[in-house]
Amino acid sequence: MADLNGFDANQVEPTGDFEPIPAGKYLAVITESEMKANKAGTGSLLQMTFQVIEGEHQNRLLWARLNLDHPNAVAVQIARADLSAICRAVGVLAPKDSAELHNLPLVIHVRCKKRTDTGEIVNEIKGYAKKDQTPLPAAGAAAATDSTPPWKRS
């Protein structure tokens, strides 16, 4: 059991239904990453959490799973190509740890896809690109000296 002493649901807005965001391009950052075993136990994947940092869908989370260690060589080749695109988009070409890719803005191309098992529409990240050179709207002139990540600035 968990101690919830002090929590009052009357003081917190409940979460809404998480519908997929519309297909399109979004400015985002990687906030988390970890290596996990794949479902079959035959390899591992790099799971990355992306957070949209501006616009109507700001703070929404999306995930990418890159099969970097897998018996299927094509799956590994696709994952390595995606990782290369991510590295190029954030300007870190030879990371030693996935944490080096965190908190650096990039553009993610999101599409909507129908799941084959449930028929539910879900989001899928299908591409990565450098953000343009325009400063983030919320960052303002202080962005160059402020070490606070863009999505935490007011």
pLDDT tens, per residue, the chain with 154 residues: 788 888 888 988 787 667 899 999 999 999 999 999 999 999 999 999 999 999 999 999 999 999 999 999 999 999 999 999 999 999 999 999 999 999 999 999 999 999 999 999 999 999 999 998 554 443 333 334 455 555 555 5
The answer to whether residue 8 sits within a structural domain is: no
Structure tokens given for 125: 């990240």
What per-residue confidence (pLDDT) applies to 148? 59
The answer to whether residue 138 sits within a structural domain is: no
SS (H, E, C) 79-103: HHHHHHHHHHHHCCCCCCCHHHHEC
The answer to whether residue 147 sits within a structural domain is: no
CATH number at residue 24: 2.40.50
What per-residue confidence (pLDDT) applies to 5? 85
Query: Rounded to two decimals, what is the model's pTM?
Result: 0.76
What per-residue confidence (pLDDT) applies to 2? 85
The answer to whether residue 7 sits within a structural domain is: no
The answer to whether residue 86 sits within a structural domain is: yes
Residues whose CB is less than 8 angstroms from the CB of residue 31 and which lie 6 or more positions away in sequence, other chains included: 49, 50, 51, 61, 102, 103
What per-residue confidence (pLDDT) applies to 4? 87
Find the domain containing 99 and state its range: 18-132
Taking a C-beta distance cutoff of 8 angstroms, is the pair 118, 77 a contact? no
Count the domains in the chain: 1
Spell 10-46 as b/e; 16+ CB within 10 A means b.
Answer: eeeeeeeeeebbeeeebbbbbeebeeeeeeeeebbbb
